[in-house]
């Protein structure tokens, strides 16, 4: 029984030492006022997971990659305009091989992505197929 009492007393002393070093309420208030240690952590950490392109949720803007060099944007517009709700093709300045295609609703974008993804554009048969994904939000 004395061994149990000794162990219990040692545990209490350890807890008392931990409590003695713990910050007081006034210490906590001072840290929060200075912006140290108070509040929530940022959710935009460097370790947040990146979603692969094929798992991006549908939206009304498509991201087109691997457009053949020198391919006419009007011809690209013609290819994507056959789908419901087509609005425009927006090339990215300084990047000839990528563009955004916008639709009025997700329905048109979904149909265009399914039909145009991994296809070779007319007039560019010697080029690799284009890659079509949803724009990252």
pLDDT tens-place string over residues 25-39 = 666 666 666 655 555
Residue 44 structure tokens: 């935009």
Mean pLDDT across the chain: 83
Instruction: Confirm whether 40 is domain-assigned.
Output: no
Based on the fold, state whether residues 102 and 72 are members of the same structural domain: yes
> Residue 66 class from Cβ within 10 Å (0-12 exposed, 13-18 middle, 19+ buried)?
middle
Based on the fold, state whether residues 58 and 108 are members of the same structural domain: yes
Based on the fold, state whether residues 22 and 70 are members of the same structural domain: no
Total domains, the chain: 2
% of the chain exceeding 70 in pLDDT: 72
Based on the fold, state whether residues 24 and 83 are members of the same structural domain: no
What is the Cα–Cα distance from 62 to 89, expressed in whole angstroms? 9
Residue 100 has pLDDT above 70, yes or no: yes
Instruction: Confirm whether 72 is domain-assigned.
Output: yes
| End-to-end Cα spacing for the chain | 66
List, for residues 12-22, the tens digit of each pLDDT value.
Answer: 777 666 666 66
Residue 109 has pLDDT above 90, yes or no: yes
CATH code, domain carrying 94: 3.30.70.330
For residue 56, the model assigns a pLDDT of 87
Q: What are phi and psi of 105, to 5 degrees?
A: -145, 165
Average pLDDT in the 101-109 region?
97
Residue 110 has pLDDT above 90, yes or no: yes
Q: The domain containing residue 103 runs over which residues?
A: 53-134
Average pLDDT in the 58-77 region?
95
């Amino acid at each position: 029984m004395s061994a149990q009492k000794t162990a219990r007393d040692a545990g209490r002393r350890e807890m008392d030492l931990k409590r003695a070093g713990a910050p007081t309420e006034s210490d906590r208030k001072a840290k929060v006022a200075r912006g140290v240690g108070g509040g929530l952590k940022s959710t935009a950490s460097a370790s947040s997971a990146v979603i692969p392109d094929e798992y991006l949720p549908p939206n009304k803007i498509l991201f087109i990659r691997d457009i053949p060099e020198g391919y006419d944007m009007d011809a690209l517009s013609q290819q994507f305009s056959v789908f419901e709700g087509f609005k425009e093709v927006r090339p990215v300045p300084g990047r000839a091989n990528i563009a955004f295609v916008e639709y009025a609703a997700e329905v048109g974008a979904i149909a265009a992505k399914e039909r145009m993804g991994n296809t070779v554009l007319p007039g560019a048969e010697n080029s690799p197929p284009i890659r079509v994904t949803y724009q990252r939000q």
